[in-house]
Amino acid sequence: MERVIQLEIFPDAPEIEEIDPRDAIGPDTRVSALYRVRYPEAKQVHQVYHDRHGWYCAEHGPACHAVSDAVEATVDR
């Protein structure tokens, strides 16, 4: 039996929310950017940070796909 997989031609865009790191973490934080990234149909929320170590997802690290989406959102501003 052949298995058929349907691909999304126009996948739903993630919801990317910019958060003020000083409000969320504290006034002495060294985090320069903080984003909350949500994907449709997913329960998990990604927290993406930018600091002296670069860009990374709090749970999955720098290779997480939410990181590239957050970085792309900063370029589009």
Q: Does 7 reside within a domain?
A: no
Residue 56 lies in a domain: yes
Range of the domain at 36: 15-75
Domains in the chain, number: 1
Per DSSP, the three-state class of 63 is coil
Give domain status of residue 30, yes or no: yes
Domain presence at residue 36: yes
- 37 CB contacts (<8 Å, ≥6 apart)? 14, 15, 16, 17, 45, 46, 47, 48, 66, 69, 70
Tens digits of residue pLDDT in 32-53? 999 999 999 889 999 999 999 9
pLDDT in tens, 48-61: 999 999 999 999 99
Any domain includes 62: yes
Which single residue is written with the structure tokens 């739903």? 12
Is there a domain that residue 41 lies in? yes
Sign of the torsion formed by the C-alpha atoms of 17, 75, 49 and 40: positive
Predicted TM-score (pTM) of this structure: 0.80
Q: How far is CA 20 from CA 9, 32, 55, in A?
A: 34, 9, 16
